Structure 1
Amino acid sequence: MVKVFEGSFQSYGKRPLAFELKKESFNIGVFKTARLMKTLGLVAKRPNKPHYYTAGKEQPTTPHLLKRAFNPSDLNTCWVGDITYICSYQGWSYLATVMDLANREIAGYALSKTPNTKLDKKALTNAIAKHQPKTQGLMFHSDQGVQYNAKLFKETLHNHKMIQSMSRRGCCWDNAVQERFSVI
C-alpha cells in the first residue's frame, strides 16, 4: 500500500488507492483502505482550488450611487435590474427584469435560455419602449454581474444617457428590492 501511495506522488486517496491495489490482486475495499491509510498516516496531497477573482483590492469601475435609497418620489428616476433563473420541463430559463423603484412595478423584462448580456439589454429596451421615459439622468442600478459590466450593456446605457450604478461586491442588500422579487 505504501509503495503504491508513494508511486502516485502521495496524490491517491482511498478510492484510487483501493482501485490500484485491486489491480495488483489485493482484495480490499474502500473503507478498509481508508482505515489502513489512517493507521499508516498516509494523507493524500490535494491541489489548492484556483481562485479566479481578485483579492478585493480592485475597485469596481462603476460607483455605488443608489446607496440603498429605495424610495424615490418620482417615477422613472431609478430603475433596478437583476437576472433570476426558472426551472421548467424544458430545462433552465433566465428572466431579466427591470423594476421602477418608485412604484415597485416591473417596467420591462426578457426571457431567454442563456443568461447573457443580450438578455439584459432586451429587458432594458423593453422597459424603455413600454414606458417611454425621459432617459437622460435615469439611474439604472444592478449587482456586479458580468452581464451588467459588459461593453454592450454599458453602451446601451450610454446611448440612452442613463447613469449606471452598481452594488458593492458581495453585498446583496445594496440591491435588496430587486433581489427579493420572485416569480410566483
Structure 2
Amino acid sequence: MSKKCFTKKEIELLSKNPYVKSVTSKAIIYTDEFKQLFIVQKERGKFSREIFEEYGFDTEIIGTRRIKCSAERWGKAYRKNGALGLQDARRGQSGRPRKRELSNEEKYARLEAENNLLKAENELLKKIKFAERGLKKKELILSADQKFVLIRYVIEKYKLKNMITYLCKSAGVSRQGYYNYFSAKQVKRRREKEKKDEVVRDVILKAFHFKNRKKGARQIKMILAGQFNIVYNLKRIGRVMNKYGIVCPIRRANPYKRIMKATQEHKVVSNQLNREFKQEVPYKVLLTDITYLYFGKGERAYLSTIIDASTNEVLAHNVSDRITLDIAMDTLKKLKKNRKVKLAKGAYIHSDQGSHYTSPVYQKLVKKHRLGQSMSRRGNCWDNAPQESFFGHFKDLAEIKSCKTLKDLKREVKTAIKYYNSYRYQWNMKKMTPVQYRDHLLNAA
C-alpha cells in the first residue's frame, strides 16, 4: 500500500466521483461496478492509469503505486473467482480478503513464542544489569539491534516457523528492520565495523596502560595525541571503551570532611585569591593542603602538597605517618629547595583555615620565604577547588592500596607525581601536561 496520505481537499474531490464508495486519509474504496469496468477495459489492452483517468479520477492525487496495487489485486481476484471475486459484500471494507481466523493450536503457539521472547529478554536485561552494577543507575532499555538478535535466538532455539512478523510486533520493532539487520550487506558492514573497533580498542589499551596509571576517556584522548600522535574523537573513544568494558574506576566524593578548629593563638588571614585560580602566570599563586592516604593493612599516612594554581604542577610534596605541624613546614622547605621554582613577583600561598596554616610558626616561615599568605573562607572548599580536585585525581592515579610499607608509599607517591606533572594531559589546559603548559606560559610571557 502507498504511504501517501490524502489531504482534506483531496478527500472531498475523490468523494465526488460516483465510482468511489468512501475515502479516508489512508485508503480509498471503489465500487464493484468500477472494478468490473476496469477489468473489461484492461482486457481490451488499456493501461491502468488511462482507465482511471477515463472514469474521472485524478491520477496525480491517487498516485501511481496505489493504481498499480489495485490493478494487481483486482486482476488476481478476477482470475481466481471471476466477477464474484470483485464483489465487496462487507460494509466499509475495501474488498481485500478477511484475515483467516487462527486455530487454538496457532494461538497457543504464538503465546508460547511471545513468552519465550520475554524470557530471553529478561535474561539479557539481568546480564546487562549485572555488568553495570556499581555504575550510575539508569533505566535498562533494549536497542532495536538487541531485539532483532533476541528474536532470531528464540526462533532458532525453539524451532519456530512463521513467527517473525508476530514476534517483531510483540517486541515493538519492524519486520523489514529485522530482515535488513540479517541481510548479507548489513552483516558484512557490521563485521567491517567490528574489525575497525578492534583496531581502535588495541590502540586505546596502549594509552590506557601507559605508565600503568588509571585513565578515563579524556586522558586517553590526550595521551594518544601527545604520546602516539593519534587523534580519535572523544565520543568514539567512549563508545569503544563501553563496548569492550575498558573502565576507569569512578572517583566518589568523600562525605566525611574533617574540620579543624584553630585555637585563639592561631591567626586567620584574608582571602586574597577569590577563586581567581588561572592567572596565566606560573609560580605566582601556590595552593597547599593535606590529605589522608590509606595503605597496607588499614594503615594511614598523610600527604601534603604545594601546587601551582595556573599550571596544576606539583611543586613540592611530603609524605608522613604523622599529621604534626612538621608535615606542612617540611613541604614549604622542599619548595624553597626546588631550584626549578622561581617565584613570580607578589607570589603568595593559599590554603584552608587548618591549624597547620594558622600556626604562628608556619606563618613566620611563609614570611621568611618572602611569600604572601591567603586562606579560604571558613568551611568553603570551593575557595581551594584545584587543590581538592588534585587530591581526588591523584588517588585515582596512584596505586596506594597496593603499598605495604611507608617506604613503598613514598616511592609510589613520588612516581605518581612525576607522571602527573610530565605525562598527565589536562583537558582545560590546551590538552597539555602541567610541565608543558608551564613552559608554554613562560615562553608566551
The alignment partner of 1:84 has SS state of strand
Q: What is residue 172 of structure 1 aligned with on the other side?
A: 381
Question: 2-side partners of 1:147 and 1:53: how far apart?
Answer: 10
Instruction: State whether residues 85 and 95 of structure 1, in contact with CA within 8 Å, keep that contact through their aligned partners in structure 2.
Output: yes
Q: What is residue 80 of structure 1 aligned with on the other side?
A: 287
Q: CA deviation at 1:117?
A: 1.6
Instruction: State whether residues 135 and 160 of structure 1, in contact with CA within 8 Å, keep that contact through their aligned partners in structure 2.
Output: no
Q: What is residue 149 of structure 1 aligned with on the other side?
A: 358
Instruction: State whether residues 316 and 331 of structure 2, in contact with CA within 8 Å, keep that contact through their aligned partners in structure 1.
Output: yes
1:139 aligns with 2:376: no
Instruction: Figure out how many residues of one structure are paired with residues of the other and give that number.
Output: 128
Query: Which amino acid in 2 is paired with 1:176?
Result: A
Percent identity over the alignment is 29
Which residue among 71, 90, 93 is the counterpart of 2:278?
71
Instruction: State whether residues 292 and 300 of structure 2, in contact with CA within 8 Å, keep that contact through their aligned partners in structure 1.
Output: yes
The alignment partner of 1:64 has SS state of coil
Question: 2-side partners of 1:53 and 1:85: how far apart?
Answer: 18
Q: CA deviation at 1:115?
A: 1.4
Instruction: State whether residues 78 and 140 of structure 1, in contact with CA within 8 Å, keep that contact through their aligned partners in structure 2.
Output: yes
Instruction: Give the alignment's TM-score, normalised by structure 2.
Output: 0.27
Which residue among 316, 320, 328 is the counterpart of 1:108?
316
Gap change, CA 1:138 and 1:61, over 3 Å in 2: same
Which residue among 129, 133, 138 is the counterpart of 2:337?
129
How big is the alpha-carbon RMSD for the aligned residues of Structure 1 and Structure 2? 2.0
1:29-44 counterparts in 2 under 5 A? Answer: none
1:44-55 counterparts in 2 under 5 A? Answer: none
Q: Deviation per CA, 1:78-133: give whole Å up to 9, x if none.
A: 10001011001161100000000111000100010111221111112212221342
Instruction: State whether residues 135 and 161 of structure 1, in contact with CA within 8 Å, keep that contact through their aligned partners in structure 2.
Output: no
Q: CA deviation at 1:135?
A: 6.7
Q: Deviation per CA, 1:129-172: give whole Å up to 9, x if none.
A: 21342376211000000011112210110101210000000000
Question: 1-side partners of 2:333 and 2:347: how far apart?
Answer: 13
Question: 2-side partners of 1:79 and 1:163: how far apart?
Answer: 10
- Unpaired runs of at least 5, structure 2: 1-259, 398-445
Query: Which amino acid in 1 is paired with 2:285?
Result: C
Instruction: State whether residues 356 and 362 of structure 2, in contact with CA within 8 Å, keep that contact through their aligned partners in structure 1.
Output: yes
Question: 1-side partners of 2:362 and 2:277: how far apart?
Answer: 23
- Name the structure where helix makes up a greater proportion of residues: 2
Query: Which amino acid in 1 is paired with 2:379?
Result: G
Q: Which has the higher contact order (CA 8 A, sep 6+)?
A: 1
The alignment partner of 1:181 has SS state of helix
Instruction: State whether residues 283 and 341 of structure 2, in contact with CA within 8 Å, keep that contact through their aligned partners in structure 1.
Output: no
Q: What is residue 21 of structure 2 aligned with on the other side?
A: none
Which residue among 119, 125, 130 is the counterpart of 2:327?
119
Gap change, CA 1:155 and 1:135, over 3 Å in 2: farther
In our comparison, the structure showing a higher alpha carbon Rg is: 2
Q: What is residue 21 of structure 1 aligned with on the other side?
A: none
Instruction: State whether residues 136 and 161 of structure 1, in contact with CA within 8 Å, keep that contact through their aligned partners in structure 2.
Output: no
Gap change, CA 1:53 and 1:156, over 3 Å in 2: closer
Query: Which amino acid in 2 is paired with 1:170?
Result: G
- Unpaired runs of at least 5, structure 1: 1-51, 55-59
- Name the structure where strand makes up a greater proportion of residues: 1
1:99 aligns with 2:277: no
